[in-house]
C-alpha cells in the first residue's frame, strides 16, 4: 500500500511540474477559452485550435509548445508571466490590455510582437533575434531595446528621448511619432525610401509630433531627408551623417599607408608616412577620393565590387609609385578588410618649395592679429634654407612667434629651417599688434596691410613663382571667426587665371562645451574650379579629407575642440589651408564663389561668408563712405534711430571683440535698432546704404 501511495505522489509531482505558472487570471482564462471556433490561438500547423487539449483547466508545458500564434488583445490582462513557456510561438498580439511590463526573452522564434495601447514601461526582448515586427505604440517606454532583425517598428506615443537604429540593418518601416525624441540615428546601411510620400509624409516613416527633435543621423544616400523634415515642420532639426564616420550596416574596408622612401632602399619602418596625399578610388561607375591623415593612413568603406586605387601627386613625374595602382575585389559585403600600402620614391632630382601666409585672427585697429606661415617641400629632395617675412613696421608691432626668429630687423623676421623632407609642411604662428586710430600712424577700418613671405633657396627651384607669397590684408572692425578667405584677394589679374587660388578656412567653437567632432564641408562648383587640382597644405589639428562627387569634407574626428573663453576670446580655434585651380574655361570678368558649412557635433551647420573672387584688371578701389548716415541717441539705453539721405540697406551690430550680434536689413531712409538686451558697454555699428557705408561707435547705458 505504501508503494502505491509513493507512485501516486511521484505522478502528481511530475504532473504539477509540467503545468505552466500563469498568475494573471484573465490571461489564463483567455488561454483556456481558445478553440477551433475562435481566433485566439493557432497551432504549429497554423490552424486555430484548443490549447487546453486535456480539459484539466491548466496549461501544460506540452500544450504551450503547440502554440505558434496567440491573440489575447482587449482582455484586461495585467501580466503575461508564463508566456516564456510558449517557445514555439512566432506571433503574439496583446493590444489594449493593462500590461506594465513585458518579458519575452525566452521566445527565440518570435517574429511579430504587437502590444500597442498598454502601460508598458519595461520591455525585455533580449534573445529575440528573429523578431521582424515590433508594434509597441501608446505605452510608457523611456527606452526601447531593439532587435537587429527588425523590418517594421511602430513605437508612437511613448516617452522616448533617443532612438538608435544603427544596428537595425533590415529596417524598412518606422513610425515613432508623438514622443520626446531629441535625436534619431538612422545610420544603418539601409536606404530608406524617401521618395514615396503622401501629403508631405512618408508612407514608411513617421516621426511627426516630436517638437524637440533636433538631430537625425542618416546614411549619406538619403539625399532628400532635409526636404522631408521641412514638410513635417521640423525646420530646426539637423540631419546629417556625422554621428559616426563609418557607414551603417555591413561594409568592407580598404586601408593602407603612403610612405616616402627618401633613401631609395625600399619603404620600411624608418621611412616617413605621408599626410595629405590624395588617393583616388573607382569601381567603374562611381569615383571618389580621400587624403591621407596626419599619420599617413588612408581608408575607404565600400560594398561589393572591384575597386581601383590610384595615388595622385601634384608633380607625378618626379616620383615613382609602387605599386602604381592596385585593384581590390570584394565578392560580398561581409565586413572584409584589405590593406594596400603604397611606397613613393624620388625620380630624378627636383627641388621645389612653396610658402603661404594666411590670417588666423584678422587685423583690427588696436588689437593683436595672428598669422600662420606655412611652407612645404613639393620636390623630391630634402632641403634646408631660410624663410623671411616682411611687414609694415610703422603700423604693426611684433609680439611673439611660435618659433623664435633667427633674425629680426625693422619690419623683417627670418627663420632658418633644416632637413625639410619631400611632402613635408611646417607652420610658424606670428602675432602682431595693429596700431589703433589714436596712434601715429593711425590704422582704421578698411586700411590695407601688406605682407610678403619668401622661402629660400630660390636658385635651382623648379617653380620659383610660389617661393614668394604676397598677401594684402584689409583691416576690419569686426569679424566672424567662422570664415573662408581667398588669399589672392577679391580681384585677380586674368593673366593669373591658370594659377592656384589659396583658401584659408577658420572655425571656432562658440558653444559652451567642447566639440568632439568638427566637419568642414565644401560643395565645390565644378563649373568654377578644377576639382582634380585640390592640394591640402595644412590643417590645425589631426584630420583626414574625403572627396565624393563635388563634396569636399575635412573631418576632424575626436578633435575635442574647447569653447573659446575670455575677452578677447582665446582657444577653440581651428584652420584648414588648401589650394585649388580655377576651371580652365573661365575668362576675364568671370567669378568664383566659395562658401563652406562647418558642423560642430550635432548642431546645425554654421555657414561662412560667401567669398567671391573676380578675374578682372586690378584697380585701386576706394571704399565710399556715406557721410549722411547719422544715429541718435548715443549713448543709448534701448532704441537707436538711424537716418540717412540715401536708402539704408543693412545694419550690423558688433561688440568690441568683433562678434556680430545683430544683423538687420532695411529699405528706407530711416530705421531703428533695439539694443535693450545688450550688456552695458561699447559697440560698433556698420551701416550700409545705397551710396556707401559707415562704421560708428555707440555706447549702451542702463
Q: What is the pLDDT of residues 367-397, one digit of tens each?
A: 999 999 999 999 999 999 999 999 999 999 9
Can 252-346 and 372-615 be said to share one CATH topology? yes
pLDDT at 357: 98
Give φ, ψ of 467 to 5 degrees.
Answer: -80, -10
Look at residue 610 and give its three-state secondary structure.
Answer: coil
Smallest CA-to-CA distance from 356 within 508, 262, 496, 486 is with 486
Confidence class of residue 192 from pLDDT cuts 50, 70 and 90? very low
Neighbouring C-beta atoms of residue 10, cutoff 10 Å: 10
Cα angle 58, 120, 63; round to 5: 20
Interacting residues of 297 by C-beta distance below 8 A, sequence separation 6+: 255, 256, 257, 273, 544
Residue 4 or residue 610, greater confidence: 610
430 burial type by CB count under 10 A (0-12 exposed, 13-18 middle, 19+ buried): buried
Grid cell digits, residue 127? 534573445
In Å, what is the CA distance from 396 to each residue of 358, 411, 452? 16, 8, 14
The stretch 290-300 carries a mean pLDDT of 92
In Å, what is the CA distance from 141 to each residue of 19, 75, 173, 179, 209? 32, 21, 20, 10, 17
| Domain topology for 252-346 | Immunoglobulin-like (2.60.40)
In Å, what is the CA distance from 150 to each residue of 102, 158, 188, 570, 599? 18, 19, 12, 48, 31
Give the CA radius of gyration of the chain: 34
Q: Looking at residue 19, what DSSP letter applies? A: B
Smallest CA-to-CA distance from 369 within 247, 289, 474, 264 is with 474
CA–CA distance, 247 with 561 (Å, rounded to integer): 24
Smallest CA-to-CA distance from 369 within 446, 449, 439, 440 is with 449
pLDDT at 3: 44
Q: Which of 323-332, 627-636, 678-687 has the lowest mean pLDDT?
A: 678-687
pLDDT at 211: 66
CA–CA distance, 157 with 137 (Å, rounded to integer): 6
Q: What is the largest CA-CA distance in the chain?
A: 124
The stretch 347-352 carries a mean pLDDT of 96
Interacting residues of 458 by C-beta distance below 8 A, sequence separation 6+: 464, 467
Confidence class of residue 174 from pLDDT cuts 50, 70 and 90? confident
Q: Sort residue 423 into left (φ over 0), alpha (ψ -120 to 50) or beta.
A: left
Examine the pLDDT at 97 and tell me if it is beyond 60.
Answer: yes
Interacting residues of 511 by C-beta distance below 8 A, sequence separation 6+: 563, 600, 603
pLDDT tens-place string over residues 596-635 = 999 998 787 899 999 999 988 644 455 678 888 989 888 8
Neighbouring C-beta atoms of residue 186, cutoff 10 Å: 25
| Domain topology for 20-240 | 3.80.10
Sheet holding 412-420, edge to edge: 407-409, 412-420, 383-391, 448-456, 468-474
When the candidates are 1.10.1060.10, 2.60.40.1220, 3.30.1330.10, 3.90.1300.10, the CATH number that belongs to 630-700 is 2.60.40.1220
CA–CA distance, 112 with 99 (Å, rounded to integer): 18
- The answer to whether the beta carbons of residues 150 and 172 sit under 8 Å apart is no
Dihedral through CA 95, CA 101, CA 106, CA 108, nearest 10? Answer: 40
Confidence class of residue 14 from pLDDT cuts 50, 70 and 90? very low
CA–CA distance, 306 with 310 (Å, rounded to integer): 13
pLDDT tens-place string over residues 550-590 = 999 999 999 999 988 766 666 789 999 999 999 989 988 89
Element (H, E) at 539: strand 529-539
The stretch 394-410 carries a mean pLDDT of 96
| Domain topology for 372-615 | Immunoglobulin-like (2.60.40)
In the chain, the N- to C-terminal Cα span, in Å, equals 105
Is the entire prediction scored with pTM above 0.85?
Answer: no
Cα angle 408, 412, 418; round to 5: 70
The stretch 668-685 carries a mean pLDDT of 84
Smallest CA-to-CA distance from 146 within 94, 185, 100, 91 is with 185
pLDDT at 658: 59
Q: Sort residue 494 into left (φ over 0), alpha (ψ -120 to 50) or beta.
A: alpha
Grid cell digits, residue 408? 629680426
Whether omega before 633 lies within 30 degrees of 0, making that bond cis, reads yes
CA 12, distance to chain mean position in Å, is: 67
pLDDT at 175: 80
- What ranges do the domains of the chain cover? 20-240, 252-346, 372-615, 630-700
Interacting residues of 629 by C-beta distance below 8 A, sequence separation 6+: 642, 643, 644, 648, 687, 689, 694, 696
Grid cell digits, residue 225? 531627408
Grid cell digits, residue 390? 616682411
Amino acid at each position: 500500500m505504501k508503494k502505491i501511495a509513493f507512485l501516486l505522489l511521484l505522478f502528481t509531482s511530475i504532473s504539477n511540474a509540467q503545468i505552466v505558472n500563469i498568475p494573471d487570471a484573465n490571461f489564463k482564462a483567455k488561454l483556456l477559452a481558445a478553440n477551433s471556433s475562435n481566433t485566439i490561438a493557432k497551432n504549429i500547423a497554423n490552424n486555430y485550435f484548443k490549447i487546453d487539449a486535456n480539459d484539466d483547466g491548466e496549461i501544460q508545458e506540452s500544450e504551450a509548445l503547440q502554440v505558434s500564434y496567440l491573440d489575447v488583445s482587449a482582455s484586461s490582462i495585467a501580466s503575461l508571466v508564463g508566456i516564456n513557456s510558449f517557445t514555439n510561438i512566432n506571433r503574439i498580439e496583446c493590444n489594449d490590455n493593462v500590461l506594465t511590463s513585458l518579458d519575452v526573452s525566452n521566445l527565440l522564434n518570435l517574429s511579430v510582437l504587437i502590444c500597442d495601447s498598454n502601460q508598458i514601461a519595461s520591455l525585455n526582448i533580449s534573445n529575440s533575434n528573429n523578431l521582424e515586427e515590433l508594434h509597441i505604440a501608446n505605452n510608457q517606454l523611456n527606452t526601447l531595446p531593439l532587435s537587429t532583425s527588425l523590418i517594421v517598428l511602430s513605437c508612437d506615443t511613448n516617452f522616448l528621448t533617443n532612438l538608435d537604429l544603427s544596428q537595425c540593418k533590415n529596417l524598412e518601416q518606422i513610425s515613432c511619432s508623438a514622443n520626446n525624441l531629441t535625436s534619431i540615428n538612422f545610420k544603418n546601411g539601409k536606404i530608406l525610401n524617401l521618395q514615396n510620400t503622401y501629403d508631405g509624409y512618408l508612407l514608411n516613416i513617421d516621426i511627426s509630433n516630436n517638437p524637440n527633435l533636433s538631430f537625425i543621423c542618416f546614411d549619406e544616400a538619403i539625399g532628400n531627408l532635409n526636404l522631408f523634415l521641412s514638410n513635417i515642420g521640423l525646420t530646426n532639426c539637423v540631419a546629417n551623417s556625422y554621428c559616426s564616420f563609418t557607414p551603417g550596416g555591413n561594409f568592407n574596408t580598404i586601408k593602407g599607408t603612403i610612405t616616402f622612401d627618401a633613401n631609395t632602399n625600399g619603404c620600411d619602418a624608418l621611412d616617413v608616412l605621408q599626410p595629405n596625399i590624395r588617393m583616388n578610388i573607382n569601381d567603374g561607375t562611381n569615383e571618389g577620393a580621400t587624403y591621407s591623415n596626419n599619420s599617413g593612413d588612408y581608408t575607404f568603406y565600400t560594398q561589393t565590387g572591384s575597386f581601383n586605387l590610384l595615388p595622385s601627386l601634384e608633380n607625378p613625374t618626379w616620383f615613382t609609385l609602387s605599386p602604381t595602382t592596385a585593384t581590390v575585389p570584394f565578392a560580398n559585403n561581409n565586413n572584409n578588410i584589405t590593406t594596400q600600402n603604397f611606397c613613393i620614391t624620388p625620380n630624378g632630382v627636383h627641388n621645389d618649395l612653396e610658402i603661404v601666409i594666411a590670417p588666423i585672427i584678422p587685423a583690427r585697429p588696436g588689437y593683436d592679429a595672428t598669422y600662420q606661415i606655412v611652407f612645404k617641400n613639393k620636390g623630391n629632395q630634402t632641403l634646408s634654407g631660410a624663410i623671411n617675412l616682411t611687414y609694415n613696421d610703422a603700423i604693426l608691432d611684433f609680439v611673439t612667434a611660435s618659433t623664435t626668429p633667427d633674425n629680426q630687423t625693422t619690419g623683417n623676421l627670418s627663420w632658418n629651417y633644416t632637413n625639410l623632407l619631400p611632402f613635408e609642411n611646417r607652420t610658424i604662428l606670428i602675432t602682431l599688434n595693429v596700431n589703433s586710430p589714436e596712434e601715429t600712424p593711425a590704422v582704421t577700418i578698411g586700411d590695407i596691410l601688406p605682407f610678403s613671405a619668401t622661402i629660400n633657396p630660390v636658385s635651382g627651384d623648379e617653380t620659383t613663382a610660389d617661393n614668394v607669397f604676397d598677401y594684402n590684408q584689409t583691416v576690419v572692425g569686426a569679424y566672424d571667426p567662422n570664415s573662408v578667405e581667398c588669399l589672392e584677394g577679391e580681384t585677380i589679374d586674368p593673366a593669373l587665371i591658370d594659377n592656384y587660388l589659396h583658401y584659408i578656412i577658420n572655425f571656432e567653437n562658440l558653444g559652451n562645451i567642447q566639440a568632439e567632432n568638427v566637419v568642414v564641408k565644401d560643395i565645390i562648383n565644378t563649373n568654377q574650379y578644377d576639382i582634380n587640382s585640390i592640394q591640402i597644405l595644412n590643417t590645425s589639428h589631426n584630420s583626414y579629407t574625403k572627396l565624393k562627387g563635388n563634396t569636399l569634407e575635412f573631418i576632424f574626428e575626436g578633435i575635442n575642440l574647447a569653447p573659446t573663453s575670455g575677452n578677447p576670446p582665446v582657444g577653440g580655434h581651428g584652420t584648414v589651408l588648401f589650394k585649388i585651380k580655377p576651371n580652365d574655361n573661365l575668362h576675364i570678368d568671370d567669378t568664383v564663389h566659395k562658401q563652406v558649412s562647418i558642423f560642430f557635433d550635432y548642431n546645425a551647420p554654421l555657414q561662412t561668408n560667401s567669398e567671391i573672387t573676380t578675374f578682372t584688371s586690378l584697380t585701386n578701389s576706394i571704399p565710399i563712405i556715406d557721410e549722411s548716415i547719422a544715429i541718435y541717441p548715443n549713448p543709448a539705453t534701448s532704441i537707436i534711430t538711424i537716418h540717412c539721405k540715401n536708402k539704408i540697406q543693412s545694419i550690423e551690430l558688433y561688440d568690441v571683440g568683433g562678434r556680430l550680434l545683430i544683423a538687420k536689413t532695411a529699405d528706407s531712409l530711416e530705421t531703428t535698432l533695439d539694443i535693450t538686451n545688450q550688456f552695458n558697454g561699447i559697440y560698433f555699428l556698420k551701416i550700409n546704404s545705397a551710396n556707401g557705408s559707415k562704421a560708428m561707435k555707440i555706447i549702451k547705458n542702463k
